[in-house]
């Protein structure tokens, strides 16, 4: 058949209304299996392609799924998006990816743009800095919109949107307990910048568990880094130059930061792990291929993306009336960058000296 095929064309051929055709394509139970089969056979034969714009106008939403992350080039969010996209494709939908910003107003603008396109739902990692949602007209109104929202890698308390995150507190516990079991007590921590909610939550967990296990409570052992390779290098350089008594281990917020730290230490002829152990978070693929390979808490990034879309699907079907809080498990993978603290370091620590 010449030209673009429409539902009316299919209806005329089968002597059915456009409404019946539309319901059958959505697998509505009102339409018999026989009628659905006749319609499927003809649309295959005629190579019918739905008009997505018209569909969005009729239904009030499209099969576009909006995804807003701070930085789509970050390997962490790239892997999450892969999980989202695979789920979206399997549901015959389309993902629209957008970079946000580090301020709430900027994110609000991106959300408004998505909603103007009548997206079916939004998966978002907003720059919240507090566990309790601060009073903000836009975010309060968003809770009551018809467009479902799922937070990715954010955990509000209490949950006011559906949210999917990883169990980073368990990850921090595994890191601290592993280092403590290997004799480390002078442990530095390089946190992330800006101080978004997951960065603050992980730092708070590290501080609490470090005290519990008797780690040195020296403020100069804390540094902060932007979430890049270069940021890790610069943060380690600042911290290292300001310490007369060096740490026996360094924990970093992310693998990207850890790679920068490793580069700095190697330039200073500091052996990893013999002089300083190094351990991080995320489980990005490249962490396995550095020299030495970096020990890391592996986050189920792909699964976070899949679960977030699954929650969105369930919400669209009416399955979830109250905000769902999903926390996925993590695991610690110990590689070449961690070892037992040397006897000389232990004796120096007891004497209050540094081993350079």
* Per-residue confidence (pLDDT) for residue 19, from 0 to 100: 83
C-beta separation of 188 from 247 below 8 A: yes
* Per-residue confidence (pLDDT) for residue 62, from 0 to 100: 66
C-beta separation of 328 from 165 below 8 A: yes
* Per-residue confidence (pLDDT) for residue 165, from 0 to 100: 96
Taking CA atoms, 277 is separated from 184, 193, 293, 341, in Å, by 9, 23, 11, 8
* pLDDT tens for each residue of 53-70: 445 444 445 688 999 998
* Per-residue confidence (pLDDT) for residue 348, from 0 to 100: 47
Distance from C-alpha of 118 to C-alpha of 99, rounded to nearest angstrom: 18
Q: What is this structure's pTM?
A: 0.81
Q: Half-sphere exposure (CA, 13 Å, Cβ side) for 275?
A: 13
Fold agreement (61-166+301-328, 168-300+333-351): yes
* pLDDT tens for each residue of 274-318: 999 999 999 999 999 999 999 999 999 999 999 999 999 998 888
- Superfamily of domain 168-300+333-351 in the CATH hierarchy: Response regulator (3.40.50.2300)
Question: What are the average pLDDT values for consecutive 10-residue runs of the chain, which has 356 residues?
Answer: 71 85 80 88 77 48 84 92 93 87 82 86 91 76 84 92 95 97 96 91 96 95 95 96 94 97 96 97 95 96 96 87 93 96 58 46
Closest CA to 21 of 30, 11, 12: 11
3-state SS string for 10-53: HHHHHCCCHHHHHHHHCCCCCCCHHHHHHHHHHHHHHCCCCCHH
CATH number for the segment(s) 61-166+301-328: 3.40.50.2300
* Per-residue confidence (pLDDT) for residue 60, from 0 to 100: 45
* Per-residue confidence (pLDDT) for residue 355, from 0 to 100: 44
Q: Would you list the domain boundaries of the chain?
A: 7-50, 61-166+301-328, 168-300+333-351
């Amino acid at each position: 058949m010449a030209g673009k095929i429409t539902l009316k064309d299919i209806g005329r051929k089968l002597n059915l209304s456009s409404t019946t055709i539309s319901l059958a394509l959505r697998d509505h139970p009102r339409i018999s299996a026989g009628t659905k089969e006749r319609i499927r056979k003809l649309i295959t034969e005629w190579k019918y392609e739905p008009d997505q714009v018209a569909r969005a106008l009729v239904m009030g939403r499209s099969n576009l799924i909006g995804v807003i992350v701070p930085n789509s080039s970050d390997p962490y969010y790239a892997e999450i998006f892969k999980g989202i996209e695979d789920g979206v494709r399997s549901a015959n939908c389309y993902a629209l990816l957008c970079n946000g910003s580090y301020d709430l107003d900027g994110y609000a603008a991106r959300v408004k743009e998505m909603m103007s396109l009548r997206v079916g739902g939004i998966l978002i990692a907003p720059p919240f800095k507090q566990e309790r949602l601060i009073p903000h007209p836009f975010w309060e109104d968003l809770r009551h919109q018809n467009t479902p929202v799922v937070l990715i890698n954010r955990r509000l308390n209490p949950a006011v949107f559906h949210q999917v995150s990883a169990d980073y507190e368990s990850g921090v516990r595994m890191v601290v307990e592993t280092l403590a079991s290997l004799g480390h007590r002078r442990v530095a921590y390089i946190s992330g910048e800006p101080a978004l909610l997951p960065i603050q939550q992980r730092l708070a967990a590290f501080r609490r568990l470090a005290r519990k296990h008797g780690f040195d409570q020296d403020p100069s052992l804390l540094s902060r880094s932007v979430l890049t390779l270069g940021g890790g290098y610069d943060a380690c350089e600042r911290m290292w130059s300001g310490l007369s008594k060096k740490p026996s281990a360094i924990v970093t917020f992310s693998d990207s930061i850890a790679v920068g730290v490793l580069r700095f230490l190697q330039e200073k002829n500091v052996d990893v792990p013999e002089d300083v152990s190094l351990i991080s978070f995320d489980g990005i693929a490249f962490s396995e291929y550095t020299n030495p390979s970096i020990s890391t808490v592996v986050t189920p990034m792909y699964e976070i993306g899949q679960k977030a879309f699954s929650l969105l699907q369930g919400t669209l079907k009416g399955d979830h009336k109250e905000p769902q809080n999903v926390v996925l498990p993590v695991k610690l993978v110990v590689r070449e960058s961690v070892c037992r603290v040397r006897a000389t370091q232990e004796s120096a620590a007891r004497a209050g000296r540094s081993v350079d």
